[in-house]
Amino acid sequence: MAPAVKRITIFGATGLQGSSVVHSLLRDQTSNFKVRAITRAPLSEKSQALQSLGVEVARADGWMAHEIQEAFSGSWAAFVNTNSDDPIFQNPDGPTEFDLGKSIVDGIVAANVRILVLSSMRPAGEATGGKMHIKTMDMKARIEDFFLSDVMAQVHRGFPCHPDAEGFLSLHLPRWGDNDAAPFIAIADDFGDLVHGILLDPHKWKDQTVQAVSETRSLEEFVRIFSEATGKKARYVPLPSWKSLGEGVAELEDPRLLFAYGELTGGRYFGVEPSSTTTALELKKLAATAQGKDGVGAELTSLASFFAANFGPSSN
């Protein structure tokens, strides 16, 4: 079986560093990497040259975090190098390279990218006892420090990839509603089948709201199942309030408000009705029948099977 596709998105792909990373990844013969290049000018000669090599080219402006989030969406990993020589940084009253790096990092975090390789430097003052300050080195170091800061650590570190100081993969989230079961959906494995099931008999489902849910579990159960399915030490660490989720990261305002919504509705994600897998399972079975499947293929994806496939030993 071929390894799962892992999309790696490069910011600065037409520069010397980024271009080197792109070409090295394209030469890989053992991993199923898919390379995406981010550029402000997708029709430029350099961008077109990358496209001719099979690289996916996406347009985004690094100063626009929402564009960066969209461009990095679906990426497993990211490589980022900012251009220290950009004329915009020569204006002492203008934005800095750190401002650009922060915008990019915010977008990457909001896109849920699992791995970031950042082209960085340590500040000149660190090795010279404060005797020297070199703008390029200091700005790149500030970007790295921001990414590794306590504020960002709540968002991009820990569960499900990075163990904490005690060796646990710790999920830091507010409680969902009254600690009720939260709905989860396996997009790749189930969502399309639910739509398929609706389209097999659209009149039956006309004007109905269908809950796209594969399984409902409390966050404690969610982490317990993850640990059992992967063999990895994990724990749920409740945040004191929905306001504490990614505090200071503007791009996470919607996720924060989602937990506030859960608090106000008692955990009813879909509004009036409690979350349920009943309709989703019916649609899944209809789609499975149409596809000639039965047995496991007609069941909704469990959290256990999802975790084992995506985070277990065989997923590496």
Q: Which pair of tokens denotes residue 303?
A: 């959290």
Q: How far apart are CA 82 and CA 216, in angstroms?
A: 42
Are residue 116 and residue 198 in the same domain, yes or no?
no
Please state, as a whole number, how many other Cβ atoms lie within 10 Å of the Cβ of residue 91.
9
> Which of 93, 119, 148 finishes a domain?
148
Print the domain residue range for 85.
6-148
β-strand partners of 11? 38, 80
Is residue 162 in some structural domain? no
Question: Any idea how long the chain is?
Answer: 316
DSSP secondary structure string for all residues of 60-111: --TT-HHHHHHHHTT-SEEEE---TT-GGGG-TTS--HHHHHHHHHHHHHHT
Are residue 122 and residue 189 in the same domain, yes or no?
no
Q: Say what the pLDDT of residue 263 is.
A: 86
Are residue 79 and residue 203 in the same domain, yes or no?
no
Are residue 96 and residue 232 in the same domain, yes or no?
no
**Tokens 């390279």 correspond to what residue?**
97
Q: Which H helix or E strand runs over 144? A: helix 135-147
Q: Say what the pLDDT of residue 155 is.
A: 60
Please state, as a whole number, how many other Cβ atoms lie within 10 Å of the Cβ of residue 80.
25
Is residue 212 in some structural domain? yes
Q: Which pair of tokens denotes residue 66?
A: 């929402």
Please state, as a whole number, how many other Cβ atoms lie within 10 Å of the Cβ of residue 221.
15
Q: How far apart are CA 174 and CA 134, in angstroms?
A: 41
Residues 6 or more apart from 249 whose CB is under 8 A from it?
Answer: 106, 109, 110, 151, 152, 155
Q: How far apart are CA 110 and CA 277, in angstroms?
A: 28
Are residue 24 and residue 119 in the same domain, yes or no?
yes
Q: Say what the pLDDT of residue 217 is.
A: 95
Q: What are the φ and ψ backbone dihedral angles of 256, each rounded to 5 degrees?
A: -60, -45
196, with CB counted inside 10 A (0-12, 13-18, 19+), is middle
Give the β-pairing of 182-184 and 215-217: antiparallel
Q: What distance lies between CA 134 and its chain's CA centroid?
A: 33
Is residue 133 in some structural domain? yes
Q: How far apart are CA 254 and CA 265, in angstroms?
A: 16
**3-class state of residue 214 by DSSP:** coil
Q: How far apart are CA 98 and CA 100, in angstroms?
A: 5
Are residue 20 and residue 110 in the same domain, yes or no?
yes
> Which of 84, 118, 148 finishes a domain?
148
**For each of the chain's 316 residues, which pLDDT tens digit applies?**
566 788 989 998 888 878 888 888 888 776 788 999 999 889 999 999 999 999 999 999 998 888 999 999 999 888 888 887 777 877 888 888 888 888 898 888 889 888 888 877 666 676 566 765 656 667 766 766 776 665 565 564 568 878 888 999 999 999 998 767 899 988 878 887 887 888 778 778 876 788 889 999 999 999 999 999 999 999 999 999 989 888 777 767 778 888 888 888 888 888 778 899 999 999 889 888 888 887 777 899 999 999 998 888 866 5
Q: Are 113 and 68 in contact (CB under 8 A)?
A: no
Are residue 259 and residue 199 in the same domain, yes or no?
yes
Are residue 285 and residue 225 in the same domain, yes or no?
yes
Is residue 153 in some structural domain? no
Are residue 141 and residue 175 in the same domain, yes or no?
no
Is residue 164 in some structural domain? no
Q: Say what the pLDDT of residue 151 is.
A: 57
Q: Global pTM? A: 0.60
Is residue 257 in some structural domain? yes
Q: How far apart are CA 50 and CA 52, in angstroms?
A: 5
Q: What are the φ and ψ backbone dihedral angles of 81, each rounded to 5 degrees?
A: -135, 120
Are residue 41 and residue 78 in the same domain, yes or no?
yes
Are residue 85 and residue 183 in the same domain, yes or no?
no
> Which of 88, 118, 148 finishes a domain?
148
Q: How far apart are CA 316 and CA 311, in angstroms?
A: 7
Is residue 157 in some structural domain? no
Q: Count the domains in the chain.
A: 2
| CA neighbor of 192 nearest in space, from 114, 301, 82, 296 | 301
Q: Say what the pLDDT of residue 264 is.
A: 84
Cα-Cα end-to-end distance for the chain: 13
Is residue 47 in some structural domain? yes
